[in-house]
Amino acid sequence: MAKAVPSPLAAVAVLALLLLCRGAEARVLLTLDDFGGVGDGIANDTQALLDAWAAACSSTQEAVLAVPAGKVYQIWPVQLSGPCKKRLKLLISGAIVAPSSPDEWAGRDPMKWLYVYGVDGLSVSGGGTIDGMGQQWWASTCKRKKTQPCYSGPRPKAVHFEECREVSVQGVTLQNAQQFQLTFTRCSCVKASFLRVVAPADSPNTDGIHLNDTSHVRITDNLISTGDDCVSMVGNCSDVRVKDISCGPGHGISIGSLGKNRTTDMVEDVKVDTCLLTNTTNGVRIKSWQGGTGFARDLRFENIVMRNVSNPIIIDQYYCDQPTPCANQTQAVEVRRVEFAGIRGTSATPQAISIACSDAVPCRDLELANVNLTLEGGGAGRATALCYRASGKSAGTVVPPSCLARS
């Protein structure tokens, strides 16, 4: 009988398996407990995390840094810095919690809790929980507390990556952030997927996933329920894909705010696709302050279902989130080449489409295609659309009827 000769594909598969096994053998596993972590939710385990991080980051082998299941590690404000010698995985199977009192930030940077700087090739996973314990922070803010004294200063971004590349965060719960839940600043090649991001509807400024000056981003398959934007992006962001998101409650999915304090912001090549928004105060939104410069262009929002959503489609070049009125300005962030396609559902407000653009820099090349938005609860009234200084085209059926001026 002739001897069987392995096919080229089989040889490649064997080689890939050998390489995979060899890679697995080269990894080192470290846990917080190896470095004195207690994990009872009471002890301060910050030093254990710092020591474990230092060992993992300096390892000549790829390291897995584990937060063991069934334990709760209380971590004070901390900076985890790179560069690391090899790729690193942070496996969070237990819980990491912040101190509950804002007083614990005395003498520390009030804008940081878990701050990761200059680390490339980091992945975070494990099914565990990161809890910002933000309740006391929210209670003291002027947005929540209407009598003096109230706090209007900075609050920590719970998990903040800055100057990182090839970062992946997946399969964990982020909850009750002091302010933003998950932030990427000046990062590239980012993945955030299969996340549960939650905070009460009245928790101020608890944006779910926030991008600032970040590019090549994939945000997919996430459940986000917060007190602010489910997803937001500011500064200079490009090549962003947001897909398969359940959002609500919250403030919807936002580009902006842009142009605050006359800054120049540039957001382009963003696609938001296949999302469900429920009971949010806005739907898909572009917001910019008067006086800014730059642009928001080449944006597409498609295949989105709204359920009882206020302001389902909104472009607002007169955004003003401050207690005193904003002065009129002649400059504005340009909004151009924006598509809203396949958007359907119910509006909690009579005005389902609101597009308010600048006199000096009108919105151009907008498109409404196959939009069907009706009033929540039905009744005799119909949803309406209002446009100001906005031009473009419509395609298919558009309900309420398009208000765009023809280009």
Residues identified as active-site:
251
What is the C-alpha separation between 317 and 363, in angstroms, rounded?
A: 9
Of 133, 140, 138, whose CA–CA distance to 158 is shortest?
133
In Å, how far from its chain's centre is CA 204?
15
What does the block give as tokens for 205? Answer: 């400024």
Assign 173 to helix, strand or coil: strand
Phi, psi of 25 (to 5 degrees): -65, -25
| DSSP bridge pairs for 33 | none
Of 87, 43, 44, 83, whose CA–CA distance to 65 is shortest?
87
> Are 154 and 108 within 8 A, CB to CB?
no
> Are 247 and 273 within 8 A, CB to CB?
no
> Are 134 and 176 within 8 A, CB to CB?
yes
Taken in order 107, 109, 114, 120, the sign of the CA dihedral is negative
What is the C-alpha separation between 162 and 184, in angstroms, rounded?
A: 6
> Are 228 and 251 within 8 A, CB to CB?
yes
| Burial of 26: CB neighbours in 10 Å, binned 0-12, 13-18, 19+ | exposed
Compute the CA torsion angle 312, 314, 320, 326 (nearest 10 deg).
-140
